[in-house]
Structure formats: C-alpha cells, structure tokens
Structure 1
Amino acid sequence: MRITLTILMLALFTSLNAQDADVELIKSQANQFSTYLMNGERDKVVAMYTKDAKIFPSDRDILEGEELANYWNPPGERSWKTTKHRFMAVEIKIMGDEAYDYGYYEGTSTNGEQTSDWKGKYVVIWRKEDGVWKIYLDIWNRIKND
C-alpha cells in the first residue's frame, strides 16, 4: 500500500513540475514575442505562430496565413515603432500539448513625433509544435486609457 501511495505521489509531483516548467516556457515565449516586436523583428513575430494560426485583432476580421503575416509585417514602410510591450498573464493552464493564457498587455508606440500608450486584454491558445510552444489562436482588444 505504501509503495502504491508513494508511486502516486511521485507521479503527481512529476506532473505538477512538468506543468510548472511548461508555464515558464510559455511565459518565456510571451517575453520573446515582446522583444521581437520592440526590436522590429516582425518575421520572428510571425514565426512564433503555428502554421495554421489565426489572429483576432480589434475591429478586424479573423486573419490567417498571408493576412496574418501582413498584419505583423505589412508591405511598405512602417511609420510607428513599438518601444514598449509586455504581457501580464492572469492565468496559464496547460492541457497536454495545448494551453490557454489570458491576461492584460500594455505598450507604447512612437513615430518619432508622437507617442501612443496603449493597453488591453488578450486570450492566447498555445500549441506545442515540434516541442516548442507556439501561438495557435490570438485574440486581443484595447482598453481605453484613462
């Protein structure tokens, strides 16, 4: 009986440690997303999404494929640069090779003459693809600044 209980406790502990590790990996991916965005590395932002990803930006249709890539890396010159971006996760829940993450985001953009501070809320569905957590579904919308 003790052996069975010990094995069950070890299995539970191992499972919880694996989930904690995956939560940290997702947080790291979210931080990397912000870094790429602030560095203007838009192709790397796009690469953080799964091949079949969809995004749900505020006041826009659902975008996927080339439309998703063009959203983050639009053709032509970009006048606004993101100088600050961060996610503040409220909850990250792992379910096998998928996870959900929701919370708030904030950032600052500038075009050299004007600065715009913004904030909002988000929900991300993550999927493990080739051992790496990638964004499958990404929905966000702004909250009005006070």
Structure 2
Amino acid sequence: MKKTKYIFFGILCTLFVTSELYSQTDKEQISAIRNESNTALKSYQNEKVLSFLTDDVLITTGNGTLLCGKEELEKYISDGGKSKMYWIRQTKEIKVNEKRGLAWENGIWNGYDPEKSDDSIINGNYSAMWTKESGVWKIKSQLFVTLSEN
C-alpha cells in the first residue's frame, strides 16, 4: 500500500512539473496568436482573423480611419473588393500586466500585394492592446500608422 502511495505521489509530481514546463507564458500565447493571425491574413481567412478580436475592438487603420467593432471591420474588409492585399505584423515587444489581464504589443507591419510584387509595398508601425477578459487573449484595440509606401 505504501508503495502505491509513493508511485501515485511520484506520478502526480511529474505531471505537475511537466505541465509547468510546457505551459506557455502570456507573452508566448500572444506571440502564437499573432502568428496564427498573420497566417490567416496571408491566406485571406477573414473569419479566423476576426476570431482573434474582441467584439468591441477598435482599429485605427494606417490612413487614420477608425473602425469600431468587429461588424464595422468586417464591412470595411468586404468593401475592399477583390483586393489581394494582405498585411503581416512583426512583433518587436510585448509587455503583460498579469494582474489586470492586459498586454501591450508593438512592432512593424508590412502590406503585400502579390499581384504587384513579392516585396512589401506599404509599411509602418503598430501597437495593440490585448485583453484576457474572456480567459483567452484577444485584441481589444490596434493602431496602425503608415510610414512608407513604394
């Protein structure tokens, strides 16, 4: 009986330690979501892109247009027509406030039009506010500023 208790205790400790080793930090979770978002943007999976945002998301586009909420963003995307433009965000920094479930991300973004070039044709900087309000990291707000056009 004692041997069984020790084996059970050993298994329990092993599970606890390995779960801690393999669990992602908040920064790693945000980075992984950003990578998923980039993949979805490049493959024009708009519904998946929208799934990474809160319903009341605020987006300021690179030209200064303010979009309030997923519905308005979805309309903005559909009004864009058959454009093959896509955007890739490259994270430079992520800071997390674990107590409040908030995070700040900044980096650079590049816009591509595969019908014109393999190279970026427009780019700039961005900042994003993330929230873990629902238990999963989602983007609450994003600000994009266009700084260069080719």
1:1-146 pair list within 5 angstroms: 21-65=25-69, 66-71=71-76, 73-75=77-79, 77-82=81-86, 85-96=87-98, 97-110=101-114, 112=115, 114-115=116-117, 117-145=121-149
Larger strand percent? 1
* TM-score, normalised with respect to structure 2: 0.71
Q: Cα offset for 1:109?
A: 1.6
SS at match of 2:82: coil
Q: Which moved more, 1:85-94 or 1:132-141?
A: 85-94
Structure 1 counterpart SS, 2:113: strand
1: CA distance, partners of 2:105 / 2:80:
32
CA distance in 2, matches of 1:127, 1:143: 27
Could you say if the C-alpha distance between residues 75 and 59 of structure 1 is closer, same or farther in structure 2, counting changes exceeding 3 Å? closer
User: In the aligned structure 2, how far is the partner of 1:76 from the partner of 1:27?
Assistant: 28
Give the unaligned 5+ runs of structure 1: 1-16
Using the TM superposition, name which of 43-52 and 85-94 deviates more: 85-94
Q: Name the amino acid aligned to 1:67.
A: E
Shift of 1:134: 0.6
User: Could you say what secondary structure the match of 1:92 adopts?
Assistant: strand
Deviation at 1:43, TM superposition (A): 1.4
Paired residues in the alignment total 123
Cα RMSD of the aligned pairs, angstroms, is 2.2
| Alignment partners' CA distance in 1, 2:130 and 2:111 | 22
Q: Distance in 1 between matches of 2:48 and 2:78?
A: 14
8 Å CA contact retained: 1:127, 1:136: yes
Structure 2, unmatched stretches of 5+, are 1-20
Say which SS state the counterpart of residue 37 (structure 1) adopts.
Answer: helix
Please give the per-residue CA displacement for 1:72-95, whole angstroms capped at 9, x wherever unaligned: x3147413243xx53332221101
